[in-house]
Amino acid sequence: MNKSCISFMLCALFSQTAFSSNERIDSLANKVETDVIKWRHHFHQNPELSNREFKTAEYIANYLNKLGLEVQTKVAHTGVVAILDSGKPGPVVALRADIDALPIVEQSGVDFASTVKAMYNGSEVGVMHACGHDTHAAMLMGAAKVLVEMKAKLRGKVKFIFQPAEEGAPAGEEGGAELMVKQGVLESPKVDVIFGIHINSQTDVGTIKYRAGGIMAAVDPFRITIKGKQSHGAYPWLSVDPIVTASQIVMGLQTIVSREMKLIDNAAVVSVGSIHGGNRSNIIPNEVELVGTIRTLDGDMRTHIHESLTRKAKLIAKSMGATADVVVPDGYQYPVTYNDPSLMAQMLPTLQATAGKDNVILTNAVMGAEDFSFFQQKIPGLYLFVGGKTQSTPAEQAPGHHTPDFVIDDNGMKLGVRTLSHLVVDYMNQDNTTK
Ligand SMILES: [Zn+2]
Ligand SMILES: [Zn+2]
């Protein structure tokens, strides 16, 4: 029983069963905490790169088998999927953890730091869990243990999805959530809702950050090829200069976000990340290539930016006597990580009861991306951030994700295990028939 529950006198609304369920989940999460930390340290010391999570998958599958779950391996190369069947009719609720590490040499100084090396795109690299996916795998194993013990209180089925390659498959390979979806991970049994959490190195232990709607951006790469006419650099009047044209296009693109996007509704980004053309000082080349990224949190804004970027590039080029070929590949590189607003409203009280009302914080969206979005493209889902920063460390001193100094406080994981478990039990015991 938590204090806010008592003080707001909401307790009367809950049945005795709900009460004892909540307490039981928390005591089971306490009991499994030592194991969760042990598993996390094991994964941290034995990190594996995207699509190469062979040992990680084996370790997870062994444990899930021991729990008596129906386990499937080699899903989307190295993924592990397990089903817990309550034996009673009800919804199918999926929980997802990503399990891959990054090509980074660890310098965190923790006593379970990685010294692992591996080959990545043809060269040897250090391998480190520098995004916290070691904690994700461990927390989901912990939640599996809790939910197996809670089986009598469940309705329907829980699908545990341990997903490889969230950080992106190696060049030339498919992988991650997109491939899992393609291989039917959301079918048989058909999943109704999916929940996922990301530990965060700059968010206090004990807190959850949430947002309804877009919480992480959609990513679309673009490529603009500008064709002009080559000449000697001393005789520019004989050229159609693609470098000057490219410069004007780069400046023109700046007004898409600043003049055409209603930024009070949602953020958007257009960034040019690379310009290539020419090879020496006294030749005006005939071609320049621009490559960039578009980040959006809203489908209409995304469509508008694609249209506007193409129009501006082509017409600016035309005004210079050049041509611009614009390619924005069809289909998302990553869709918006979009938290279904009605599901968010439905489950917010669960988050508040789990972490305490003051510890559940509405957050701004971020312009980074997450492939959990491929699941949410098919079914309603929630993606949340859970704190992994020791409270005594100032947020600005906490190393960011994907850096060699990245650290996560083990104490943050208990809330993750509790959150995943409470979301499943509460969702299963609510009336979802109208959805
Ligand atoms: Zn990452
Ligand atoms: Zn991550």
Ligand nearest to the CA of 98: 2
Q: Please identify which of the residues 100, 134, 178, 409 carries the catalytic annotation.
A: 100
Ligand nearest to the CA of 168: 1
Q: What is the pTM of this model?
A: 0.89
In 10 A of CB 354, how many CB atoms?
23
pLDDT digits (tens, 9 = 90+) for 75-122: 999 999 999 999 999 999 999 999 999 999 999 999 999 999 999 988
Q: How far is the CA of 102 from the centre of ligand 2 (A)?
A: 10
Q: How far is the CA of 260 from the centre of ligand 1 (A)?
A: 31
In 10 A of CB 160, how many CB atoms?
24
Q: How far is the CA of 238 from the centre of ligand 2 (A)?
A: 51
Helix (H, G, I), strand (E, B) or coil at 134: helix
Quick check: 175 and 51 in contact, CB under 8 A?
A: yes
Q: At 363, phi and psi to the nearest 5?
A: -115, 160
Which amino acid belongs to residue 368?
G
Cα–Cα distance, 142 to 413 (Å, whole number)? 9
Q: How far is the CA of 300 from the centre of ligand 2 (A)?
A: 27
- Collect residues with CB below 5 Å from ion ligand 2: 131
Q: How far is the CA of 101 from the centre of ligand 2 (A)?
A: 9
Q: Give, for all 435 residues of the chain, the pLDDT tens digit.
A: 444 444 444 444 544 555 588 999 999 999 999 999 999 999 999 999 999 999 999 999 999 999 999 999 999 999 999 999 999 999 999 999 999 999 999 999 999 999 999 999 889 999 999 999 999 999 999 999 999 999 999 999 999 999 999 999 998 999 999 999 999 999 999 999 999 999 999 999 999 999 999 999 999 999 999 999 999 999 999 999 999 999 999 999 999 999 999 999 999 999 999 999 999 999 999 999 999 999 999 989 999 999 999 999 999 999 999 999 999 987 778 999 999 999 999 999 999 999 999 999 999 999 999 999 999 999 999 999 999 998 888 988 999 999 999 999 999 999 999 999 999 999 999 988 655
Q: How far from the centroid of its chain's Cα atoms is residue 312's Cα?
A: 32
Q: How far is the CA of 75 from the centre of ligand 1 (A)?
A: 21
In 10 A of CB 8, how many CB atoms?
11
Q: How far is the CA of 131 from the centre of ligand 1 (A)?
A: 5
Q: Please identify which of the residues 134, 166, 192, 426 carries the catalytic annotation.
A: 166
Give yes or no: 100 in active site: yes
Ligand nearest to the CA of 134: 2
- Collect residues with CB below 5 Å from ion ligand 1: 131
DSSP characters for 228-297? -B-EETT-GGG-B-HHHHHHHHHHHHHHIIIIIS-TTT--EEEEEEEEEE-SSTTEE-SEEEEEEEEEES
Ligand nearest to the CA of 199: 2
